[in-house]
Amino acid sequence: MSASPGRTVLGRTVLGRTVLGNRRAMATGDGPRRWTRVVAWVLFGATVIVQIIFPYTDGGTLSLTVASVLLLTAAVIVDVGVTRGPGAAMILVVVAGGGGLLAETIGVHTGLPFGTYSYSGTLGPEVLGVPALVPCAWIMMAWPALAAARRLVGTRRRWATAAVAALALTSWDVFLDPQMVDQGHWEWRYPTPAIPGVEGIPVTNFVGWMLVSLVMMVLLDRFISRGPSTPPPADALPIAVYLWTYVSSVLAHAVFFGRPPVALVGGLIMGVVAVPLAINVIREVRDAR
């Protein structure tokens, strides 16, 4: 008989804590935060739809390119803001967006560190000779690259994390650059020597990307908290973005863009990060069951 009241008291205590926890959650904005994360996923879903449409438009259109970049950039910024705080989102914009703009401005005017290239004026308004869309592209993939590296490397080896994140970001350009060059958005004055299978894009471009990405990732990893302010899976969205970008890029170049060699080479290089990342995610899902 004495056990029953004990359970009742315990039940009331647990219920009381639950109710109090819910009230605190509402007071601290967990409800709005949850909906904000939904917004990030909706933006990512819209990006996927746009990117699926893209190959069927005979090389794509400017409006689809702009929509794809802006939607994914918004999704990433919202995700960082809701999982790490508004300050972290601002850091991402300044470091990745501002850093990308700085690197591209120097690059287009001096040829360093990427090589000599020029924009054709087909990507919309420009800032300092660089399409305004380009810094957004740095933002939209910088956070997924860092999230992927953190998932694979862990939380203590900062230089290893930065190096893997830089590789994760640079390897994406193995797909991006051939696509943009083929569509006439920019051109290289000296396109050789090139990586076999990725003709038309000089090796110097990827060396420059690796250097810029490494500096960028050191800063982002230093100033954006490793621990999310919300429970796991807080980094599900950037991980999904990275894996989707990998799979869709391989498929697009192999089937739609007429660049099977790029699909193969890019698949191998970006796969150094994407494949172990996919295995890690699959194991997590399996262990959670």
- Record the tokens describing residue 65, joined without a space: 């390119």
What is the average pLDDT across 204-210? Answer: 98
For residues 151 and 169, what is the distance between their CA atoms, to the nearest angstrom? 15
- On the CB side of 166, CA atoms within 13 Å amount to 20
For residues 65 and 50, what is the distance between their CA atoms, to the nearest angstrom? 8
pLDDT tens across 148-167, in order?
999 999 767 889 999 999 99
- Record the tokens describing residue 228, joined without a space: 């999310």
Strand 117-119 vs strand 186-188: parallel, antiparallel, or unpaired? antiparallel
More confident residue, 61 or 193: 193
Nearest to 198 by CA among 180, 214, 213: 180
Instruction: Give the three-class secondary structure for 135.
Output: helix
For residues 137 and 130, what is the distance between their CA atoms, to the nearest angstrom? 12
pTM > 0.95: yes or no: no
More confident residue, 17 or 49: 49
pLDDT tens across 82-134, in order?
999 999 999 999 999 999 999 999 999 999 999 999 999 999 999 999 999 99
- What pLDDT is stored for residue 4 in this prediction? 43
Residue 259 DSSP symbol: -
Residue 48 confidence class, pLDDT cut points 50, 70, 90: very high
Phi/psi region, residue 59 (left: phi>0; alpha: psi -120 to 50; beta: rest), is left
For residues 165 and 145, what is the distance between their CA atoms, to the nearest angstrom? 5
- What pLDDT is stored for residue 60 in this prediction? 65
